[in-house]
Chain A
């Protein structure tokens, strides 16, 4: 019982990290019709940069965000400019960003080699620390990623519902042409969204660097899981992405405890296939009445 309780907690905490990655991916797919596979490469590039900055300058890993987040915001803006410039269709964006993913992976291999990298524990004291509630442990980095997911989700929902940019984005995702007719500047607003989404990847990268050992191929392992979360949550559905992230996190952690870790992907993707067959618009999306 204790074991399952602990599995539930680590599942929820890991789900937070899934949610951070998913929210960015889901927003750009749902609203801009860009399926950005390079998102994973950005997250791992950010993780490597976190590793490098904190190792070279002894900076606290959390503080590296001050440097990485703006850089990745600009990268995202540039990427969307590129997609707009060449008018890349939804399906082709998948292929183009796949190409970008491979190039970035090669870049990471060239710069940091294929060896495992981990931030030294003197610089990253959080890695081994946990706080305890009763018999249950809450590791600091995982807990931090969960809190960050809540903040990001809350902030994104607030911006989408209450600001001009948010309204413009929702208008674009409903009908791009009509939105343009009402004076929404698609180019500007899409670059803003892609920038923010890529900055989210940088946030995820910080936590990835703190929690896991890094190697260039690692991004591939995340593609399957995160896409499962994106589909389950529903496109451009932020609360859905958060809920689906937590769901998959819990499912994986509990499967690992009850059965064995190798079974976790089997359960995850079976869930995805069932969801695709019966509710392809996402578990947490209401069926549209159109």
Chain B
């Protein structure tokens, strides 16, 4: 029953978002917003697919770059070397990434010792190895980078930015939907059991090896799929850019910020972090962006390990109100020009509010209780 509502919800969100390019032609807002949203979709897909493996089963992967790189270079090969349509590269990139994941998993998951830090470092090493292979293979890259020319998609998807928007939306929705389905399925419960205690899970009849293999393959498939599309957006592909530590760091940070226990957590995290970085790197102070990202990571780990989703659940109306008030104040006061930057600052304020401990929040609610619904007051007493 619940599942049925959920699927309908996904369909609704998908339809609303799919109508944005049409709204653009009606109201004529800048193309910039489509590109911005494409990047949001990209990060949502990446963070969700990381979270499926690492959030659900507890196997922290630092190797996102490797599987992403496979997707990116599949597109590069298909377009630059074989002169085929890039649409072919999307599924192929996903499948190749999944195969690499299966290969690594087949060896690694047999060894009980390779958990936690060692698994993380091993996946990081896979990333470095793959980067070295690509850099030295003259057919794939050879260290000079690959430049994709003007890439053509199917005509019915419209111009380049609309096409990227629609494809990005489809991939992100698909990834989140799969993540959502796993979360509610028996498979997901098995993965949570593995995260909590693998020995006990095994003893209670969870087929741990098979589950880990399956989730690793699914996660890698979506990382590769999304990477294959991202290659078209990047246009100029270099080994340093693709296999850098930026991607694993960002997906980890997004999932930690949002919450690793729930499928919605990484989606929230991706939207927030990308909005923040977009704002602060545009402000022509790239290092301030880094400082904010680094501090957020530390603060979240120390004070809100379960992520903001858990807090948001209990404080939904209050935080929405704060977000909207912060947004309105900025717009009225004429602070900043871009709506996205104003959104970013409002998000920062809301996160600061979510970081408040339950005790302080309870006091806050009491002093505001005259205009809050009764139910909300009850939640604060917990």
Contacts and interface: CB of A to CB of B under 8 A. Distances in A.
> Does chain A bind chain B?
yes
A10 to B, nearest CB: 20
Contacts of B289: 106
Contacts of B136: 260, 262-263, 266
Q: How large is the interface on B (under 10, 10 to 19, 20 to 34, 35 or more residues)?
A: 35 or more
B124 A95 contact: no
A86 interface: yes
A99 B125 contact: no
Q: How large is the interface on A (under 10, 10 to 19, 20 to 34, 35 or more residues)?
A: 35 or more
B114 A266 contact: no
A270 B143 contact: no
Contact of A220 (B118, B245, B293): B245
B16 to A, nearest CB: 35
B60 interface: yes
Interface string B270-310: 00000000000000001111110111111001100100000
B297 A266 contact: no
Contact of A277 (B111, B117, B302): B111
A90 B124 CA distance: 18
Contacts, number: 112
Contact of A88 (B60, B291, B297, B302): B302
Contact of B122 (A103, A262, A273): A273
Query: B108, B124, B244, B298: which has the most chain A beta carbons within 10 Å?
Result: B298
A272 B294 CA distance: 28
A139 interface: no
Interface in A204-247: 220, 223-224, 227-228, 231
A188 B288 CA distance: 34
A91 interface: yes
Is chain A's binding surface mostly helix, strand, loop or mixed?
helix
Interface string A64-94: 0000000000000000000000101011101
A265 interface: yes
Interface in B106-134: 107-108, 111, 113-114, 116-118, 120-122, 124-126, 128-129, 131-133
Contacts of A228: 125
Contacts of B111: 277, 280
B287 A99 contact: no
Contact of B117 (A35, A86, A262, A273): A35
B189 interface: no
A79 to B, nearest CB: 12
A38 B114 CA distance: 23
A96 B116 contact: no
B256 interface: yes
Contacts of A53: none
B128 A265 contact: yes
A269 B123 CA distance: 11
Given A107-B287, A107-B291, 20 more contacts: A90-B116, A92-B301, A94-B120, A95-B256, A96-B297, A98-B294, A99-B295, A99-B296, A106-B287, A106-B291, A109-B286, A227-B121, A262-B132, A265-B128, A265-B131, A266-B132, A272-B125, A273-B129, A276-B121, A277-B108
Q: Which 9 A-B pairs have the closest CB atoms?
A: A99-B297, A102-B294, A106-B290, A106-B287, A266-B132, A103-B294, A99-B298, A99-B294, A265-B132
